[in-house]
Structure 1
Amino acid sequence: MLIHKIDDEVSLRLFNVGDAEEFFNLIISSKPYLKEWLGWLDYVEKVEDTVETIKSRLQSLVEAGGCPKSVAIIYRGEIAGTIGFNEINNASKIGRIGYWLGEGFQGKGIMTKALKAFIDYGFRELGLNRIEVSIAVENKRSRALAERQGFIEEGRLRQAEWLYDHYVDHIIYAKLAEEWE
């Protein structure tokens, strides 16, 4: 999956170091919006931080035997966000997916398309048996997206994540290979 064209507007592709400034600008411009649900944003202060993130993602590509764990979501030629497997347990064939879009890209159906394509990639290319997503209880849009993609709510993790000044509970969703397509 070097480039995966979903339709005329949306595609998924590997990040490259040349994306650092555009990715940084997307993060910074969406920071107030994204901080409601993402706890790592204060660690992004300069373009070099995104360079290191991209290098780490490329290194994980090597470690995963050439299978990307995370990619850029491209909308009409611009980086709109990212989607990837935050964790993959190869022994149990379980992947935990994470995703986000910049504020200006919300409400266009981009993430619906990207998530469907990444689920297909996880089951078809990576041979996963189970894909999980952990979402803050109050993140209703992200939860609705997972539910529309056929993920089943399996439980609640109390105080699962520290977000700057408070803990949030998460709902664990999962989709099994036998439930796919």
Structure 2
Amino acid sequence: MFKYQVDEHTSLAITEMRHAEALYNVIAENRHHIGQFLMFAKNQTLEETKSFVETSLTRFATGIGVPTCIWYDNQLIGSIGLHISKANRSASIGYWISKEYEAKGIMTKCCKAMIDYGFRELDLNRIEIRAIKENIRSRAIPERLGFKLEGTLRQDVQLYDAMADTIVYGLLAQEWLY
């Protein structure tokens, strides 16, 4: 089992099937909050959450993913994961957090932990974070952590009844100073 202690209150642990119901409950309680920019949250069922966990575990077992739940004082509050391209020694980070825990620095610390893990343990050369242009809180994280703004992918993502632009941030191992 993968577990990473972020700080005295926060840890990351591989998402396991035994976490599926708790993960689903956090999604369900935060449908509007998470669903503003991540369409899966609006109608996610428990069965879909279990399927996601199963797929994530397969990705972890094959070395192309590091799916983790974010735990704060032993309560599941969100999710963060690496999506890895072994051939390119690169990965992207995806994340979301319960509204109650937003704007407390938790996600920035979790991203920092994932970046450290990716560069130091997985020997990645590049990590990317993408965010919907209007998702200012999500975009602030890579900006705070020293990522470079690499561009805008115009009308890149279907977001309900419209297409949304995605902002791309990148960080190279040689740039990681933390």
Name the TM-score, length of structure 1 as normaliser: 0.93
Q: Which stretch has the larger CA shift, 67-76 or 14-23?
A: 67-76
| Number of the residue aligned with 1:56 | 55
Decide whether the 8 Å contact of 2:82 with 2:114 is kept in 1: no
- Equivalences for residues 78-89 of structure 1 within 5 A: 78-86=75-83, 88-89=84-85
2:108 aligned with 1:112, yes or no?
yes
Cα-Cα RMSD: 1.4
| Number of the residue aligned with 1:20 | 20
Which of 87, 104, 110 is the aligned partner of 1:91?
87
Decide whether the 8 Å contact of 2:26 with 2:77 is kept in 1: yes
| Number of the residue aligned with 1:134 | 130
Alpha-carbon distance in 2 for matches of 1:149, 1:176:
12
Aligned residues: 177
| Number of the residue aligned with 2:155 | 159
Deviation, 1:3, is: 1.0
Alpha-carbon distance in 1 for matches of 2:94, 2:59:
15
Alpha-carbon distance in 1 for matches of 2:143, 2:174:
16
Q: Identity, % of aligned pairs?
A: 39
Amino acid at match of 1:85: L
Give SS of 2:52's match.
helix
| Number of the residue aligned with 2:30 | 30
| Number of the residue aligned with 1:9 | 9
Deviation, 1:68, is: 5.2
Deviation, 1:58, is: 1.1
Give SS of 1:69's match.
strand
Q: Deviations over 1:107-139 (max 9, x none)?
A: 221101100000001101111101011111111
Structure 1 residue runs of 4 or more that deviate by more than 2 Å after TM superposition: none
Amino acid at match of 1:24: Y
Deviation, 1:22, is: 0.8
Deviation, 1:42, is: 4.0
Amino acid at match of 1:81: G
Amino acid at match of 1:51: K
Amino acid at match of 1:38: L
Alpha-carbon distance in 1 for matches of 2:6, 2:67:
16
Give SS of 2:31's match.
helix
Q: Deviations over 1:24-81 (max 9, x none)?
A: 1100110111111102224512x222121111111112111xx852111111111111
Amino acid at match of 1:98: G
